[in-house]
Every structure is written in C-alpha cells, then in structure tokens.
Structure 1
Amino acid sequence: MDFSLDLPAGPLAEAILSIVRTSETPSVVNHSVRSFFFAQLLATHEGCLEDAAYDRDLLFAATVLHDLGTGDLAKGEARFEVEGADLAANLLRQHKVADPDVDRVWEAIALHTSPGIAERRGLLCYLTREGVGIDFGRNAEIVSRWQKQIHAAYPRLAMVRSLVDAIVERAARSDAAAPRYSIGGELLRERRADGVTSMERAAAASPWGE
C-alpha cells in the first residue's frame, strides 16, 4: 500500500489549514491532521477509495476541521461539535463548496463523537469518526506500518490533555455547551469532580499515549 504525507492543495485546503493553525492549539492541529491520514489509510485498508461516496477533499475538510469548536473562534454557546460544524460550514460556503457537500462535512463533524450514529450516516461520517478514533488508539493495528512516520511529522504534544482542556473550557461557558451526556458535558463534570477525566485516564492505555 502506497502512503504519502502530501496534503490536498489549493485555496480551500490552504484556508482549512490556516483557520485551524490560527485558532487551535498546535497539539489539536496535529491531532486533526493525523486523523486525516489515519482516515485515509482506513479507507485504503477497507477498499473504499473507489466508492462513489469517497471524496478525499471532503475527508480532509471534515477531519482537519473536526475540532474547530475547541478553538478561539468558538464562543461556547453550543456543543463544541456543533459550533465546529457551523464554523466549518461557513468556511466551505465562502469557498463555493456545493451545499450538499457542505451538509456532509457538517454532519461528519457534528457526529464525530456520536458512536453508533456516525457509522450509519454515510462513508464520510464513518471515516471521520474512525480516523479520529485511530488517533486515540482504536484499531491502531490498521495504521501501525505508517504511524511512526505520521507521528514524526505531526507529534502528539500531550494531545489528549490539551484537547480535554479546550473542550472543558468551552463547555464551562454555558449550559447549552455542556448538555448532560454530551462529551463536553461529561468531561466538564469529571474534571470538576475528580480533576482528571476518563479520556485522560484512557490515554495511558493507548498505544500512542497522550
């Protein structure tokens, strides 16, 4: 299987990288780019590249923008997944992406923390959620051949702790940002109760660590 660290090119790809690099922490940016590579490797592994629903540019948009709601552009007025999806959709519309494709990216981002739902909402939602999951160590064996190369180019930088910090900070801004049983709401409650979250504890068992 061929693999390259090349990213999509062009004005939209440049705008996507610019918005995450200027609004998110470096560790979250690296996590998002790794999620793209892992999702792409998963698509190759599962034979999805010839699927009519597979679109590398939309996969890049969904994975790299999936945590935009944890960055400086998010106001903490809704769940971080929804705020991020709204911000991503606005960016895609500015670049004249077709409305149906904007909706697909919005859905993939909004559902990336929704197990059992994202997997049933089409290939883009599935690959986005699973690419993110691989960066947390789920199904790591699929990418084991290439993970050192990817991590060398985009190091983790204590990603899990940095991401939890960002999610919790925004969840604390309003009740709407932290509804019961949402990931933001639960991480906020865990951090307040114990000082550490289940996501951070789970990182110790991940093959990648934090």
Structure 2
Amino acid sequence: MCPPHLQPQEMQSTNTRPMTEDDTIPDCVPSDTLSLAAYAHAFGNLHPAILAHSLRVWLFAKVLAQREEPEYATDRRMHLLFIACIFHDMGSCSAYNGSQRFEVEGADAAMQGLLAPHVAERDAHDVWVAIALHTSPGIAERISPLARLIRIAVIIDFKRPAAMRFTSEKEVEAIEAEFPRGEIEKVLRDAVVDQVLGMETAEASDAKAPAATWAGLMVRSKRANPEWNGVNKAF
C-alpha cells in the first residue's frame, strides 16, 4: 500500500523522515484516513525500534480487544485503539520533547494534531487518557477499557509475567517475527532518559520525570550506573 498523501497539516511539519512512494505501510495498519495519517506520522518521527514496538503493541491490543473489548475491534472504534497504540511512545521523539512527562507529551500530540479536529471529544479524551497513563500500573487497567487494552499490550511486549496470561508463546513469536524487537528496551530507555538529562535545570528534569514515575526510575538508575550502557537496570 502506498503512503497516504493527506495528513493533518499541523502534523506534516514535524515529520523528520517523511514517507515516500518507496515506503510501504504494513498490512496490519487500519485503512481509514486517521489511522494511515497516524502511522505516517509515527514513521516520520519514531526511532524504528520504537515504531516496531508500537506496532507490536497494536497487534497485541487488537487480539485482546477481540476477546475482551469487542467494540474496539470494530471499524467504528478500531482507529481509536490504533492511534493510542501508535502514539503511546510519541513523546519519546525529538519533535515532542517538551517540558511535560513523555507520556503526556505523546497524549497531547495525538489530541492536538490528530484527534481533536476529527473525532468526538469523549473519544479523543479516552485516547488521551490511555496514552498518558500507559506507564501507570493499577490505574491504567481500571480507568477505562481503552487504557486497559493499551497498558496490557505494552506490558505483554515487555514480557511482564503478570501479562503473559493474556497471550500465548505462539502469538508472541508470530508478532515478533513480523516486527522484530531490535534493542527496544535500550532504545526506549535512552530516548526517555536523554530527554530528561538534557533539561536545563534540576527543577525542569524533576518535572519531566517525577521520582515515582517510570521515567524517574530510569533516570535514577542511569545516574546510579553512569558507565552502564546495556539495558537499564531498572527496566
């Protein structure tokens, strides 16, 4: 499938790696206009390993939705699930490296650049919440069905033991064969931590990665192990 030529104008300008006619969109991406625009924007901004992670999250979430939240497996709402998946780590890229937590930056990017002009306010808010809370265990699983799908799919991809009952070894192998893992744990850690360490003041760093958050834990581990270049010891 050729890349879409129509994207929301405010999103086009931030793409650092625009799609060309030689780039193909994976068959798993929904064919509606918003999903295609969301994929093109993710392709243009996310590190390839983070893009592949986001697509794996989408596939895990879609299968889970078919079993437990079938409304998000229908054409009427599937685009909301896809956008939440493909944008959940958008705050890790340079285009959205703002002063807020990376989860919030990604949620705002989806809301302001893609959702707000095109979907109902309640649906847009549900996507915002799902992205903003995807690293918040115990909250994301209960605040909304969409947030629960995203949270569980994310921790499936990172092979957290509590989540593996929602999938199977065969399913994981098939999805990872389609979108290989690469060094996602290291790539995502580096992207998030480098943003925080690049803030101009300690106060700004603390605001971007509060101590009790996932990013805060990654930063604290990096500072405690500055010479370590493998997967973050707190991941």
Residues 197, 95 of structure 1: alpha-carbon distance in 2 compared, 3 angstrom cutoff: farther
Task: Pick closer, same or farther for the CA change 1:197–1:77 going to 2, 3 Å.
Answer: farther
TM-score, normalization: structure 1? 0.85
After TM superposition, the score normalised by the length of structure 2 is 0.76
CA shift at 1:202, angstroms? 7.0
Question: For 1:194 and 1:150, how far apart are their aligned partners in 2?
Answer: 33
Q: How many residues align?
A: 199
Superposition map of 1:65-104 within 5 A: 65-93=87-115, 96-104=118-126
Cα distance in 1 between the residues matched to 2:73 and 2:65: 12
Cross-structure match for 1:49: 70
For the residue of structure 2 that corresponds to 1:76, the secondary structure is coil
1:147 corresponds in structure 2 to 172
Deviation above 4 Å: which 4+ runs of structure 1?
50-54, 196-199
In structure 2, what is the equivalent of residue 131 of structure 1? 153
Q: Percent identity?
A: 37
Counterparts of 1:55 and 1:198, CA distance in 2: 39
Give me the CA root mean square deviation.
2.6
What is the match of residue 61 of structure 1? 83
Cα displacement (A) at 1:50? 5.0
Measured after TM superposition, the shift of residue 96 of structure 1 is 1.1
Equivalent of 1:179 in 207, 210, 218: 210
Inter-partner Cα distance in structure 2 for 1:184 and 1:202: 10
Residue of structure 2 aligned with 1:163, choices 188, 192, 206: 188
Within 1, Cα distance between the matches of 2:40 and 2:168?
27
Q: Could you tell me how far 1:198 is from its partner in structure 2? A: 11
In structure 1, the residue matched to 2:130 is: 108
* Alpha-carbon distance, 1:63 to partner: 0.9
Question: Bigger relative contact order, structure 1 or 2, given CA contacts below 8 A and separation 6+?
Answer: 1
How far apart in 2 are the matches of 1:116 and 1:55?
24
Deviation at 1:22, TM superposition (A): 1.2
Deviations 1:24-46 (A, max 9, x none): 10000000110011111222343
Structure 1 unaligned spans of 5+: 204-210
Q: CA 1:199–1:98 in structure 2 vs 1: closer, same or farther (change >3 Å)?
A: farther
Q: For 1:71 and 1:169, locate their aligned partners in 2 and report how far apart those are by CA, in whole Å.
A: 11
